[in-house]
Amino acid sequence: MKAAAQVIMDTGAHAAALAVKSARVDVVPGYPITPQTAIMEALAAMVENGELHARFIPVEGEHSAMAAAVAASAAGARVFTATSANGLLYMHEVLHMASGGRLPVVMCNVNRGIFAPWTLWADHQDSFAQRDTGWIQYHCSSNQEVFNTILQAFRVAEQINIPIMVNFDGFAISHCLMPLTLPPQEDIDRFLPPFEPEWRLDPAHPSSFSNVTMAAEYATFRQMLADDILAAIPLVKQAAREYQEITGMWDGDTIDTYRLEDAEVVALAVNSMAAELRLSVDILRQQGIKAGLLRPRLVVPFPSEDIIQVLPRNAQVMVLDRNYNYGHPGGILAQELKGALFGRRNDITVKNRVMGIGGIDLPRRLMADEIRAMMEE
């Protein structure tokens, strides 16, 4: 008889650890940082008690965590790590080695505002500051989506040999309990086959890896990475679709939409604030405003074509950024959106607010009020 899905109450951080366990990873280098620590604690415990047959490497910092991750991946292992905020920034150099080296590491970044000054709470400056490292980036808005996305990320990363960052908000997701559906392991194994690298460090086949290149070779490697990041979009869609076929769960593919079809005012945001924005959309609808939601799940590659396709004619898009695009007014999502629309959808108006920095609470009414105010501008 086929095993049934199990429903539990769980935090986003622990849901991430359960997904990593279900993915049967081999190596987990880890270093604590708030609010990510709970993921590493859970994985270390699973390895110690034998629930997860893997190695937990307690490294001395995030730069080393990513170094151990890329090296283990090059040796042929399925690898996961997690971080937040300054930990992610500390990894920056080695993030480039993972993507340039075409190593399919999957990492959770639990979004947190970055130093200085210190803050513990969520905004998206950390992940958006790593936009140009050659990593694919998902952003998730619920505990269930975190679980589902980690499994989809392993699949896509290993298909195209590009590392993937799965982002979700500190505390609002990482530390809050929500119902979590755990598909049977046999279904997950069907969705995510074992990692079979095309290449690994193997004394039977000595060759150099990430060695010095001449300009033409270097440029070729870089172009291939740039092209393949864009080529990940159909794979992301396929992974979401097949995950739905096997588990019945759907979080969107490159994008997620809500009441968008006839919308005249479209809220656009990522992560937990986008979950709350659904309720803002309902409030606006009750007030007679034809509102809808467009939530990019992918930020890198930016799902430009899908956004161009779904935006209703003459819509005003209210981009709520939880990050700054220093040197420009507003945030990075708005800039990305304008870049996607320019010359393609001149009917669309884009307006922008930076909100929720450093974890400032974003309740539904506040965001609904803000969107109404933006309509007047």
Partner 1 sequence: MTTSIKNLPDTEQVLSGNGACGGCPATMALRIVGKALGPNAIMLLTPSCSVASMGMTPKLGYNWPGLNICFATAGSSASGVIHALEVMKEKGRLPGELPTVFSWVGDGGTYDIGFQSLSAAAERNDNIIHFCYNNEAYSNTGVQRSGATPRGSFTTTTPTGKSQPKKNMALLMLEHNIPYVATATVAYPGDLYDKVVKAKNTPGMKYIEILAPCYLGWQFDMADTVQMSRMAVRSGAWLLWEAENGNISFNNPTAPIINGKKDAAPVEEYLMKQGRFNRLLKGSDAQQRIAEIQGDIDREIAFMRERAKISI
Tokens representing 310? 């779904």
Contact 350, 317 (CB under 8 A): yes
What's the CA angle centered on 271, arms 268 and 275, to 5 degrees?
75
Rounded to whole angstroms, how far apart are CA atoms 89 and 127? 9
Per CB under 8 A, does 82 bind partner 1?
Answer: no
**Which one of residues 10, 18, 26, 39 is an interface residue with partner 1 (CB under 8 A)?**
26
Per-residue interface string for the shown chain with partner 1, residues 273-312, x marking contact by CB under 8 A = ----------------------------------------
Which residues lie across from 367 on neighbouring strands? Answer: none
Q: Report if residue 132 touches partner 1, rule: CB under 8 A.
A: no
Least gap, CB of 289 to partner 1 (angstroms): 51
With tokens 């730069």, the residue in question is 63
CA distance 327 to 348: 24
Identify which of residues 31 and 121 has a Cβ nearer to partner 1 in the complex. 31
Contact call for residues 294 and 317 (beta carbons, < 8 A): yes
Binding flag, residue 71, partner 1 (CB under 8 A): yes
Contact with partner 1 (CB under 8 A) among 1, 4, 116, 212: 212
Strands 291-296 and 80-83: unpaired
Pick from 214, 215, 216, 288 the residue near partner 1 by CB under 8 A. 214
100 to 119: interface string for partner 1, x by CB under 8 A? --------------------
Give min distance, CB of 216 to partner 1, in A.
11
SS3 of 168, please?
A: strand
With residue 368 as reference, give the H or E element that holds it: helix 364-376
Determine which helix (DSSP H) or strand (DSSP E) holds 354, and give its type and residue range. strand 349-354
Binding span for partner 1 by CB under 8 A among 63-71, 159-167, 311-319, 348-356: 63-71
Contacts with partner 1: how many residues (CB under 8 A)? 43
Q: Does 133 bind partner 1 (CB under 8 A)?
A: no
Q: Report the C-alpha gap between 295 and 73 in whole angstroms.
A: 31
| 206 near partner 1, rule: CB under 8 A | yes
51 binds partner 1 (CB under 8 A): no
**Minimal distance in Å, beta carbon 152 to partner 1?**
23
- Using rule CB under 8 A, residue 20 touches partner 1: no
Q: Which stretch binds partner 1 (CB under 8 A): 21-29, 158-166, 256-264, 308-316?
A: 21-29
Cα angle 193-127-295, degrees, rounded to a multiple of 5 = 75
**Count of beta carbons in the 10 Å neighbourhood of residue 44:** 17
- Residue type present at position 144: Q
Q: Taking CB under 8 A as the rule, does residue 54 contact partner 1?
A: yes
Closest distance of CB 362 from partner 1, Å? 37
Query: Does residue number 240 form part of the binding site for partner 1 (CB under 8 A)?
Result: no
Dihedral angle sign, alpha carbons of residues 166, 171, 173, 177:
positive
**Residues in touch with partner 1 (CB under 8 A):** 26-27, 29, 53-55, 57-61, 63-65, 67-77, 79, 93-94, 97, 201-203, 205-214, 217
